Amino acid sequence: MATGGDLSLESADASPQRTLTLARRGDALAEPAAQLRALDALTAPGLDFDARLAAAGLEPLRPARLEYFQVNVGKLCNMSCRHCHVDAGPDRVREQMDAATVDACLDALDRTSAHTVDITGGAPELNAHFRRLVTACVARGKHVIDRCNLTVLLLPTQRDLPEFLAAHGVEVVCSLPHWRARNTDAQRGDGTFERSIRALRRLNEVGYGVGDPARRLTLMSNPAGAFLSGNQAALEVEWRAGLTREHGVSFDRLICLNNMPISRYLEWLIETGNLVGYMERLANAFNPAAVAGLMCRNTLSVSWDGRVYDCDFNQMLGLEAEDASGRAGGLGHIRDFDPDAFAGRRVVTARHCLGCTAGNGSSCGGATA
Amino acid sequence: MSEPYYKHEHLPQFPQIATGNATLASKFFDYYGAVFAEGALTAREKSLIALAVAHAVQCPYCIDAYSNDALEKGADLEQMTEAIHVACAIRGGASLVHGTQMLEHVRKKGM
């Protein structure tokens, strides 16, 4: 049972909604296979990711040392952003990681070399087991990341969340597409920016974003449109000056991610006639130097139902990790996790992977090149 | 004549200008790259200047290129619009300030 309180869109506490989930609308694109077909149907040159890797002498893509244990605890979210690759939203109450799967994740974590547990969603804080998972990971000496949409901190049920995160030294990675209101609200819904600023003030109040490594506040920006992320270091300077000057809020670092042509962002690309141009942009910006730092090489990604993936994007496309013999889904459920089979696998790739190798590179940790 | 004079495929073909003179093209593109590198001005500030100038010289290729470039450098619509108003103000102001020439003539010739 989720603990998000009343997330119905009619509630007085309703968070900004930019759209409705594909699932709620019954849209055919809700199916991962339909998304993969839409990408595979494109005929522009340079879109064959494996061929691009091979031409750069980087094929097949093999994992490096496992560093990040990423747990997607579910698709429930108080928001419905236009670009969401998860198709998360208030109606996704069914897809929530249960207690047994959380325990299985912890058991598997103990058998890996991962130093960081990256908890994502949806809004991961709305999962009933979120705080237990955080506490258990911290007790194991792991660095914990909470991928937070900011507005969740303002929900009546989550008022004590900043204090909880601070007490456990959790790094908060917050979605904020832009330091100004227009692009933030265009992507995430009207009123999001104002709420995000209020949430950032709450985090600042409990010691986040002021240089304390145990209270690290990271902002994460996705472009609000069909273009690539900017230079992370240059943007950080501008964002810091702008947010300090206009809103009096501070943060520790900014990371930039490209949008992946998956789920609702894919829908937006198709609806606005931007799909071909965006994929060509990704293909033209293919940067072999970004490959070594790809997150799929140092990350294990677990879905709400305990399946194992190379990354959160493959997870949303239903592309389960292969075992060492190349069998799709061969790694099975996280309760049966085999570290050797995971280390010996080939990373599953498809056309969407061009999003992570474009320009400065893109990963859950920001630029890779 | 239905064929458009300006075509989207022209811009990516810009390097082909080297066909007639590779040396001059090379010098130009080297210079161009150096101009837009991070320097005393940030790459984003230079992109916004380029966007404004693109509108002043009304170059469709440059408008395409620097609309995308400014977005990718983190500028938003309001910032880009203000940049274009700077171009507009200077163009408009350049006309209007020549009115002082007109005034001089009128003062000299008039009663």
Structural domain tally of chain A? Answer: 1
Q: Which residues form the domain of A73?
A: 63-355
**pLDDT of chain B along its 111 residues, tens only?**
689 999 988 998 999 999 999 999 999 999 999 999 999 999 999 999 999 999 999 999 999 999 999 999 999 999 999 999 999 999 999 999 999 999 999 999 988
Listed range (A62-71, A105-114, A164-173, A317-326) with the worst mean pLDDT: A317-326
Residue A367 is assigned to a structural domain of this protein: no
3-class DSSP assignment, residue A218 = strand
Which domains, ranges and CATH numbers included, belong to chain B? Answer: 40-111 (1.20.1290.10)
**Residue A26 is assigned to a structural domain of this protein:** no
Question: From the candidates A187, A227, A284, which should be mutated to test the interface with B, based on the most B CB atoms within 10 A?
Answer: A227
Is residue A97 helix, strand or coil? coil
Q: What CATH number does the domain containing A349 carry?
A: 3.20.20.70
Closest Cβ opposite residue A227 in set B43, B72, B77: B72
pLDDT above 70 (res A62): yes
In a domain, A164, yes or no: yes
Q: Is some CB atom of chain B closer than 8 A to the CB atom of A184? A: no
Q: Is residue A249 part of a domain?
A: yes
A-B CB pairs within 8 A amount to 38
Q: pLDDT value at position A2?
A: 43
The token duo for A186 is 């265009």
SS3 of chain B:
CCCCCCCHHHHHHHHHHHHCCHHHHHHHHHHHHHHCCCCCCCHHHHHHHHHHHHHHCCCHHHHHHHHHHHHHCCCCHHHHHHHHHHHHHHHHHHHHHCHHHHHHHHHHHCC
Give domain status of residue A48, yes or no: no
A220 CB neighbours in chain B (<8 A) are: none
Are B68 and A225 inside 8 Å of each other by CB? Answer: no
Query: Residue B8: closest CA among chain A residues belongs to which residue?
Result: A277
Q: CB contact, 8 Å: A246 with chain B?
A: no
Question: Average pLDDT of chain A?
Answer: 94
Cβ–Cβ below 8 Å for B71 and A225: yes
The shortest C-alpha distance from B70 to chain A (Å) reads 9
Q: What percent of chain A has pLDDT over 70?
A: 96
Task: Identify the closest residue of chain B to A231 by CA–CA distance.
Answer: B73
Interface of B with A in 40-59 (CB under 8 A): 42-44
Nearest to B13 by CA among B83, B49, B56, B61: B61
Q: Is residue A19 part of a domain?
A: no
